[in-house]
Every structure is written in structure tokens, then in C-alpha cells.
């Protein structure tokens, strides 16, 4: 098949591109800057937020991946406006090109409470794609464990750079992190499995249910470092987020929306995705061990 891969410069897209090629598909990339894409593939330069280049990118395509996320936003309108504009432009261009199946990766949505800004935005994008394209498939994931995943790198840097792991109240909330390899398997299957179409929304998750505090402590154990833990009762995201971003060397515009999501459990609605799409899941510890090995192949971990 002829496949369009947006978001090829991100951790998910960069891992997915070689898997698609290995499966025999002809892959074309799309984005603002081909120099940021770590893999070699034909590329169309453009911007989904403005719609520039989308018609050229989608011409002749059988399946498209919509992996465009914009946590920091490109201006005063913010990331919610940018993500919605990108999705609407993409649906319109896909319609003109006759592309019926688009695969989207968003985030798990909390049950019984109002989603945070970035999860609310992911859900809005999902609804735009599912409503506008007849064979769209939406996958929802929590924290992705991979060497280039910003969420994972954030946790590793906290372990590396904090002599005492200071964990707010969100340490007790649970989620199901997922190996980047498994995300790739789900995405690949969603494009090619006949019964995975028609406005389908699936939650994808790893096999282990962990609190955020347990995740950080297990990462420290796997890294063979010992960090005492200080727990306090307040979330205080507006105060904690910029401090955590500075410690991890991250953009506060990324960390603040991310931490706003840590207001309760973030668990999948059901576990049918792995059986439906034929994906065998890796454990959290195996995912972390592999991610750290891949990380250390190109960059020294200070805490090792």
C-alpha cells in the first residue's frame, strides 16, 4: 500500500516508518522540516495547521497516519486550536484525495471526570477524524516507553537529576504504560486489518497497571540508582510543573499540560485491542530495559 506518515520526526513516527517499509509498504512523509526526520523516506514539506502541502502529500495515498500533536502550541491561540485546525484541514484534504482510512494515535481519556486540556484536545481531534472519514481508526494510549518518548525521557531525567524524588499526590494514581514497540504493532495492524475500520476507537495499553510513583521507582531500580522518596499531599501543578521542567531540561509548555492530566487514574476502557489487532504485549520492565539500552547506544545516562 501507499502510506502517508505524518509526525515522522516524532518518537512514534520514527519507529513506525521502518516497520512500514519492512512490511512492503511505500511510505511518504509529511511535515514542516524533513531535516528533523531521523529516517530516510520521500517527503512532502507542508504544515497541517495551515493546510499547506496536504493535497500533494495525500495524492495517491491508500492509508494515512495522523500523528500530529502540538502540546506547546504555535501562538497565542494555543495547542488546542492548532490541533483542531490540523485535523479539520487533514479531513478536508483526505476527502479530496479519496483517502478513506486514516489511523490516529491520541491519549487515554479518564472515566468519570473532565479530561485535562491536552487529553480534551486529543479527544476533539479523534472525533473530527472519525466523523469526517469513513474508515478512520483511533487508538488511545497512555505513557509510551521508548528511548525517544518525551514522557519517558522526562521521568528518566528526574531520576538522574534529583537526589530526592519529590512526588506530589499524583504519585498514587494508576495508568498502563505501553512499550513503543507495541504501539508500532497496533498502528501497523490498524492500517491493514480489514475489521479494524469504520469509526473504530480503541484503547491500547501495556499489561502492567502501575501508579506514577511506582513507574518512577522502578525506572530508578532498573537504572541501578537509589533515590530516597519524599511524598507530599498537594498536586500544585502550576508550582511544580516549571520546577520539574527545569530539572529535566524540558519545555514548561510541554510539562504543564502533561502534569495537568495527573489528576486521577488513567486506565483503558477495555482490553479488547490486543486480541482484535493481534498484538503481543511487552511488560513495563522489559520496555524500560530496552529503551534504556537504545538510549545509551547514542547518549550517556548520567546516573548509570
CATH of the domain at 97: 3.40.50.720
DSSP 170: G
Candidates 273, 263, 284, 272; CA nearest to 110 is 263
Q: What tens-digit pLDDT sequence spans the chain (304 residues)? A: 999 999 988 889 989 999 999 999 999 999 998 888 878 899 999 999 999 999 999 999 999 999 998 755 545 568 889 999 999 999 999 999 999 899 999 999 998 888 888 899 999 999 999 999 989 999 999 999 999 999 999 999 999 988 888 777 778 899 999 999 999 999 999 998 877 667 889 999 999 999 999 999 999 999 999 888 877 666 666 667 788 888 888 888 888 777 788 888 999 999 999 999 999 999 999 999 999 999 999 888 876 5
* pLDDT value at residue 236: 64
* pLDDT value at residue 130: 95
Residue 154 lies in a domain: no
According to DSSP, the residues that pair with 104 across neighbouring strands are 66, 138
* pLDDT value at residue 47: 95
Residue 253 lies in a domain: no
Ranges of H-type helices in 98-205 = 117-132, 150-161, 180-192
* pLDDT value at residue 37: 86
Domain total for the chain? 1
Reported in sequence order, the residue ranges of the chain that DSSP labels E, i.e. its strands, are: 2-6, 26-31, 43-45, 63-66, 101-107, 137-141, 144-145, 165-167, 174-175, 178-179, 200-203, 210-211, 229-231
Residue 116 lies in a domain: yes
Measured between alpha carbons, how far is 97 from 88 in angstroms, rounded to an integer? 14
Residue 262 lies in a domain: no
**Distances from the Cα of 240 to the Cα of 135, 163, 208, 246, angstroms:** 42, 16, 27, 10
Residue 18 lies in a domain: yes
Measured between alpha carbons, how far is 102 from 197 in angstroms, rounded to an integer? 9
* pLDDT value at residue 234: 60
Domain containing residue 130: 2-142+177-205+270-277
Residue 215 lies in a domain: no
- Residue pair 202/273 in contact by the 8 Å Cβ criterion: yes
Measured between alpha carbons, how far is 220 from 155 in angstroms, rounded to an integer? 9
| C-alpha triplet 181, 187, 191: angle, nearest 5° | 145
Residue 264 lies in a domain: no
* pLDDT value at residue 76: 52
Ranges of H-type helices in 23-74 = 54-58
* pLDDT value at residue 303: 66
Placement of cell 547506544 in the chain = 297
The two most distant CA atoms of the chain are separated, in Å, by 57
Residue 258 lies in a domain: no
CA atoms within 13 A on the CB side of 127: 8
* pLDDT value at residue 248: 86
The C-alpha cell at 256 is 504543564
* pLDDT value at residue 71: 59
Residue 103, SS3 per DSSP: strand
DSSP 41: -
Amino acid at each position: 500500500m501507499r502510506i502517508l506518515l505524518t509526525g515522522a520526526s516524532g518518537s512514534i513516527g520514527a519507529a513506525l516508518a521502518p516497520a512500514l517499509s519492512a512490511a512492503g509498504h511505500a511510505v511518504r512523509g509529511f511535515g514542516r522540516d524533513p531535516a528533523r526526520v531521523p529516517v530516510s523516506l520521500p517527503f512532502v514539506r507542508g504544515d497541517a495547521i495551515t493546510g499547506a502541502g496536504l493535497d500533494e502529500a495525500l495524492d495517491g495515498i491508500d492509508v494515512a497516519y495522523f500523528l500530529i500533536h502540538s502540546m506547546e502550541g504555535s501562538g497565542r491561540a494555543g495547542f488546542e486550536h492548532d490541533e483542531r485546525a490540523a485535523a479539520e484541514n487533514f479531513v478536508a484534504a483526505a476527502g479530496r484525495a479519496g483517502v478513506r482510512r486514516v489511523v490516529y494515535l491520541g491519549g487515554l481519556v479518564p472515566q468519570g471526570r473532565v479530561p485535562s486540556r491536552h487529553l480534551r484536545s486529543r479527544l476533539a481531534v479523534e472525533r473530527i477524524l472519525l466523523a469526517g472519514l469513513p474508515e478512520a481508526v483511533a487508538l488511545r494510549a497512555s505513557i509510551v516507553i521508548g528511548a525517544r518518548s518525551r514522557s519517558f525521557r522526562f521521568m528518566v531525567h528526574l531520576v538522574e537529576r534529583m537526589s530526592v524524588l519529590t512526588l506530589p499526590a499524583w504519585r498514587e494514581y494508576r495508568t498502563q504504560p505501553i512499550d513503543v514497540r507495541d504501539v508500532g504493532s497496533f498502528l501497523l495492524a490498524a492500517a491493514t486489518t480489514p475489521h479494524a475500520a469504520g469509526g473504530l476507537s480503541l484503547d491500547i495499553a501495556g499489561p502492567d497497571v502501575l501508579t506514577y510513583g511506582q513507574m518512577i521507582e522502578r525506572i530508578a531500580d532498573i537504572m541501578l540508582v537509589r533515590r530516597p522518596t519524599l511524598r507530599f499531599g498537594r498536586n500544585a501543578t502550576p508550582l511544580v510543573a516549571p520546577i520539574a521542567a527545569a530539572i529535566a531540561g524540558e519545555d514548561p509548555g510541554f510539562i504543564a499540560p502533561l502534569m495537568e492530566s495527573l489528576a486521577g487514574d488513567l486506565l483503558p476502557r477495555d482490553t479488547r485491542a490486543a486480541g482484535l489487532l493481534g498484538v503481543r504485549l511487552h511488560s513495563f520492565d522489559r520496555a524500560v530495559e530496552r529503551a534504556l539500552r537504545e538510549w545509551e547506544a547514542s547518549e550517556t545516562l548520567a546516573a548509570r
